[in-house]
Each structure stands twice: as structure tokens, then as C-alpha cells.
Amino acid sequence: MGLLSRILEDEKLVFENPPLPSLKVGEGVLFSIPEYLRRQGFSRVALITGGDSYSAGGYREQFEEQLRAAGIEAPHFPISGEPSPLKVDQIRDTAAELQADAVLAVGGGSVIDTAKAVAVMLHHHGSVREYLEGVGSLISKPLRHPLIAIPATSGTGAEATKNAVISEVGEHGFKKSLRNDAYVPDLAVLDPLVIKSCPYDVTAASGMDAVTQLLEAYVSTRATPFTDALALNGLQRSRWSLPASLRDGENLNARGQMAYAAYLSGVALAGAGLGVVHGLASPLGALRNIPHGVVCGTLLPAASELVVGSLLKSDTESRGLAKYSQAATVFTGSDHGNAEQNCRSLVDELYRWVEEFSLPLLSDYGFTSAELRNIADTSSVKGTPVDLTPDEIYSILNRRL
């Protein structure tokens, strides 16, 4: 019997999982949404989308024609970049004036987070800034407009989570969350037709974000049997579907499988939390305009190498090491017979992916060694299965400077 099996046999099942959206998956399910909205009694929907990504989508004309045919007005709010308090406030105010009765997001994680915030803030006065964790002092009520999320990238899993990340970039910038069950969409729609035009660099970065979330959630100290099953399934699917999507963006099967893996990453992180990579992503994203997926992808190999090395030094019978080994066999497709070799193969594969997918360095976004030192001194390891010193965290950052 393996170490992980022995650990699991002694485990007591006590956990609670956050609520989940209803889910539609499959090629062309996007076009069922106008009729879904009509049946729900909606007549004016705030349509929040990416900018170029939505305009370039080959599905747009047919989708909007079907909205009109269903008698649904859809005032359009295109956005680009990270969601800021100003963007959220502006869209909320206009949507309220137009008396929108639902919110529909078609885009990446930033678009979906914006839509989540708008849907809730339609029931609140003042700026969304006043409700952000660590920024404002108000707590949002568990009320929102009906919300449908249709991801156009395969990364954040925002369509499945109960938080929305809002940012201001700069020296005194922040990336903070709105967080309660009201931010979980009513419906998540995974359609490869929406994702197939996603550019190579965005596909790579967002895909590595999903892989990071799956791995960090699986090895998290807060992981549950439920999140473990989903995280391993997502790792298994992303192992082949992300490279296949990058080789051929028109591969709808690969796009769909990766979209589902990203969704699973959102469900897993909602129940298990994340690790040191995501502890670093927020301060890095607040200081520079660096895509969240780039941060996660570029740091994941170095972070995994450091954590695995620490586990090997401290306790070769630990739960954390056993779970890294299990994740390695699923993600690489090989079992080398012992935890150390399995974990080494995982780290090697992650480094290979970062190089093959041409993920940028931190210096490409203007970060300096001094800035990284300050970030390392104040960052959180979250659910990472070992404690890390600021020097160790700095070594992760410096490896990808």
C-alpha cells in the first residue's frame, strides 16, 4: 500500500464546499443562452465582454442575432485590462440607468470578475472600492442580479468561484477581492467556439494559471477529498489539452477539454485554497501591469522545486510529498516508483512547459531585484504544505527575474 493510500485511510471526512453554478458544456451551447434568458423572463441584459477578443469571435454575429430574435436587448460594455473600481462603478451606473435585469459575461477572468462585481453592486450604493477586502470597510450584502459567465479563455476558473478580484496598478496599487457566495454565477457556459480564437500567448499564460491552481489546490493544507478528485482530473486533462490547444487553436476537442480543466481549477481552489505562487501573484500584479497567468506560469516550476526540495529534506513520509508524487504521476503520465523521482519529473516537466510556451520573465515587465525583495518579505504562502522564509520566497522570484 502506498504512502498516500495509508494517509487517506486514516483521514476523517469533515469538510464543506462552496456553492457551484449550474453548468453547460459543449460545442455550440453558447447559442442556447438567448432562449435560456428569454425563459427566465429577462428582457435587458448587460453584456460585458472583452474588447478585441469578442469583436474577433466568429460567433458574435450569430449570438447577437439570436439575442434580438429572443426579444432581449443587450447593451454592450467592452473592457480591456484588469477590472478597476472605476470601471466597475461606471458600468454599474450605466446598467442601472438602463434598468438591466441580468448580467452576462463573455470573456476572460477579468471580464467575469467585472461582471460579478457589477451584478452585486447593482444592489449597493457608493463605489465598489468601499467593499474590497483590506481597502474598504463595508461588507456587501448577499444580493445580486442574475449572472451568466461564459469564459473566452481557459485559466482563472472565475466562472466557478465566489470571489471577484479588483485591481489598481501602481506604486500604491492593490489587487483585492470581493468575496461571498453571491459572486458565484448562476450559470457557467463552457463552449470551445468562444475560446478557439484565443491568441497563443493568452492561451499559454491562462492555461498555466489553471495548472497552477490545480496543483496548488491539490497539495494545499486545506484540500478535501472532493477538491482532490477534481484537481487530479483537471491535471490529467490539461496534461494533453493545453499543449494540443497551443499546437492548433482550431482543435475544438482540446479547447473544450482545457476549458473544463480550468473550470475544475476554479472549483478546486474555491474549496481548497491556493499556495505560494498565488500569494505572490497579487502584489506583483498590483505593482506592474503583468497578466495574472504570466505570474503563475513563470513562477510555478521554481516554486514547486523549492517546496518539493523542502519536503524531501524535512519528512519523506509527509502528506505533502505524497500528494506531489501523486500529482506528478497524473501530470507526467509516468510513475518512477518513488516520491523523489516522481516529484523531480514533475518539476522538470513544468520547466519544460515554461520554456516551450515562451512565458516571459519578470524583468520583461520592469521588475527589479529590490522590488522582488520587498514583495518576498510581505507575501503569504497560503496553503503551501511547508513554511517558507522570505529568503526562500525571494529565491523563487529571483529565479524568474
pLDDT for residue 327 is more than 80: yes
pLDDT of residue 155: 94
Q: Which of 271, 297, 274, 397 is nearest to 355 (CA)?
A: 297
pLDDT for residue 6 is more than 70: no
Say what percent of the chain tops pLDDT 70.
98
* Cell numbers placing 262: 480550468
pLDDT for residue 9 is more than 80: no
Instruction: Write the pLDDT tens digit of every residue in 353-374.
Output: 999 999 999 999 999 999 999 9
pLDDT for residue 201 is more than 70: yes
pLDDT of residue 56: 83
Q: Within the chain, which residue ranges are assigned CATH 1.20.1090.10?
A: 199-399
pLDDT for residue 5 is more than 80: no
Location of C-alpha cell 479563455: 153
pLDDT of residue 7: 66
Least confident of 116-130, 263-277, 308-322: 308-322
Q: Within the chain, which residue ranges are assigned CATH 3.40.50.1970?
A: 22-195
User: Beta-carbon neighbour count of residue 181 at 10 Å?
Assistant: 10
Q: How confident is the model at residue 142 (pLDDT cuts 50, 70, 90)?
A: confident
Location of C-alpha cell 490539461: 238
Least confident of 118-122, 123-127, 168-172, 306-310: 168-172
Q: What is the mean pLDDT of the chain?
A: 94
pLDDT of residue 174: 86
pTM of the model: 0.94
Query: What is the rounded CA–CA span in Å between residue 302 and residue 281?
Result: 14
Average pLDDT over residues 278-290: 93
Say what percent of the chain tops pLDDT 90.
84
More confident residue, 8 or 105: 105
Rg over CA atoms, the chain: 21
3-state secondary structure the chain: CCHHHHHHHCCCCCCCCCCCCEEEECCCHHHHHHHHHHHCCCCEEEEEEECHHHHHCCCHHHHHHHHHHCCCECCEEEECCCCCHHHHHHHHHHHHHCCCCEEEEEECHHHHHHHHHHHHHCCCCCCHHHHCCCCCCCCCCCCCCCEEEEECCCCCCHHHCCEEEEEECCCCCEEEEEECHHHCCCEEEECHHHHCCCCHHHHHHHHHHHHHHHHHHHHCCCCCHHHHHHHHHHHHHHHHHHHHHHHCCCCHHHHHHHHHHHHHHHHHHHHHCCCHHHHHHHHHHHHCCCCHHHHHHHHHHHHHHHHHHHHHHHCCCCHHHHHHHHHHHHHHCCCCCCHHHHHHHHHHHHHHHHHHCCCCCHHHHCCCHHHHHHHHHHCCCCCCCCCCCHHHHHHHHHHCC
Instruction: Write the pLDDT tens digit of every residue in 165-200.
Output: 998 887 778 888 899 999 999 999 999 999 999 999
* Cell numbers placing 315: 519528512
Sign, CA torsion 187/193/194/200 = positive
pLDDT of residue 141: 85
One of 1.10.1280.10, 3.30.499.10, 1.10.10.10, 1.20.1090.10 is the CATH number of 199-399, namely 1.20.1090.10
pLDDT of residue 1: 43
Q: Which of 246, 152, 262 is nearest to 214 (CA)?
A: 262
CB contact burial 214-245 (16+ within 10 A = b; e otherwise): bbbbbbbeebbebbbebbbbbbbbbbebbbbb
Least confident of 10-19, 121-130, 174-183, 328-337: 10-19
One of 3.40.50.1970, 3.40.190.10, 3.90.1140.10, 3.40.50.10470 is the CATH number of 22-195, namely 3.40.50.1970
* Cell numbers placing 370: 529590490
Q: How confident is the model at residue 317 (pLDDT cuts 50, 70, 90)?
A: confident
More confident residue, 5 or 300: 300
Q: How confident is the model at residue 240 (pLDDT cuts 50, 70, 90)?
A: very high
pLDDT for residue 304 is more than 50: yes
